[in-house]
Amino acid sequence: MREVLHLDNPHPNTYHGVCAAGGRGRAYGGHIAAHAVLAAHRTVDPERAVHSLHGYFLSMGRPDEQVRYEVQTLRDGGTYALRHVTARQRGDELFTLTASFKKVEEAADRHVVMPPAPDPAALPTQSEAANRLWSGIDPASPIRRVVDVRPVLGDADDGGSGAETGGQHRRMWFRIASDMPDDPAVHAAALTYCSDLTVARTAALGHLRATGTTGTPAQNLYLASLDHAIWFHRPCRADDWLLFVHHSPTSGDGRGLTTGQVWTRTGTLVATVNQEVLLRTRRSTTTPEPALVP
């Protein structure tokens, strides 16, 4: 994972990184977002941690090519700091990110209870649900190597909860497969990297059921992330198991929305994720474009 998140810093407030493929021939959006928040983190006081990020995907990136991340300081207050990042490739803007950072404060702490889920050790390392999840990811992408994913069987992929009421619901355990350094900024970036892996598919499944389409989203739909937001509630380690519970309440007008919560194995709520995705049925062509499952 260190190699995946590596950034060069050739000039002040400027970082370079190379992003992996998501769908064939397309850069993985979660990798670009992870690099962007890590670049922003490198420009703030180490005592501050990211507590929220809001990003917009502007154009398709090319995998295995350098991306330039330009960080702009918007605010450095007593507690909060705000940064804006623009990601460019070959001069084209790919992604913009606004990220907010803060110092730790002593305050009352509360959160809702984690929903029930089987322990990840009780789930198979390989399953049809996992194969469907990976179906839109380039087989050569390092995502498959660095992220360990175990979907909870019986959820949306298998015709489970939410389908009959217009929504989609899915639970999935994930972790970075190798040990990581203790740097909280790296763990926040790694969580960002993983957060973009499955939310688009959850929105897409509702669309497939609504239209009566069979097959996987990668086979039938054109998907691309439009925007992505994360609120980091508490620190966590991305190399420990995290439960990602996501729900897609709606799709329509060529878009789908998914919201999710991330929990530690011991039941601590660490993050909330929202994403809107472009969602279109494929046109029949002799040479269809590759699907993008960010």
Tell me, letter by letter, the H, E, C secondary structure of 59-114: CCCCCCCEEEEEEEEEEECCCEEEEEEEEEECCEEEEEEEEEEEECCCCCCCCCCC
pLDDT score at 286: 42
- From the list 195, 248, 251, 275, the catalytic residue is 275
> Which residue range is the domain that position 267 belongs to?
8-103+118-281
Among candidate residues 280, 238, 221, 293, the one with its CA nearest the CA of residue 27: 293
Contact 222, 289 (CB under 8 A): yes
CA distances 143 to 23, 51, 68, 177, Å, are 11, 25, 21, 10
Name residues whose C-beta falls within 8 Å of residue 99's C-beta, 6 or more positions apart in sequence.
36, 37, 40, 41, 50, 52, 53, 54, 82, 83, 85
Count of domains observed in the chain: 1
User: Of 141, 168, 225, 251, which is the active-site residue?
Assistant: 225
Residue 289 belongs to some domain of the structure: no
| pLDDT (0 to 100) of residue 287 | 44
**Does 150 fall in a domain?**
yes
25 found inside a domain: yes
H or E element in which residue 54 lies: strand 48-57
Is residue 161 annotated as part of the catalytic site, yes or no? no
125 in any annotated domain: yes
Whether 205 is covered by a domain: the verdict is yes
The whole-number pLDDT of residue 126 equals: 83
The tens digit of pLDDT for each residue in 136-171 reads 788 889 898 999 999 988 775 544 444 445 567 889
**Could you read off the pLDDT of 194-251 as tens digits, one per residue?**
999 888 878 877 666 666 666 666 667 778 889 999 999 999 999 999 999 999 888 8
Residue whose tokens read 């493929």: 21
What is this structure's pTM?
0.89
Tokens of 257: 């929305």
Half-sphere exposure of 227 (CA within 13 A, CB side): 13
- Percentage of the chain modeled with pLDDT above 90: 64
60 within a domain of the structure (yes/no): yes
Find out whether 252 and 206 touch, Cβ atoms under 8 Å: no
Cα gap 127→111, rounded to integer Å: 32
CA distances from 62 to 86, 132, 185, 228 (A): 16, 24, 25, 19
Q: Which of 16-20, 123-127, 192-196 has the lowest mean pLDDT?
A: 123-127
Q: Give the active site residue among 141, 196, 248, 251.
A: 196
Any idea what the Cα angle at residue 260 is, between residues 255 and 261, rounded to 5°? 170
Domain CATH for 188: 2.40.160.210
Catalytic, 225? Answer yes
Q: How far is CA 49 from the centre of its chain?
A: 19
Host H or E run for residue 248: strand 242-252
Instruction: Establish if 109 belongs to a structural domain.
Output: no
Q: Is residue 229 in a domain?
A: yes
Joined together, the tokens standing for residue 158 give 């298998």
pLDDT digits (tens, 9 = 90+) for 67-82: 999 999 999 999 999 9
Q: What is the pLDDT of residues 170-200, one digit of tens each?
A: 899 999 999 899 999 999 999 999 999 888 8
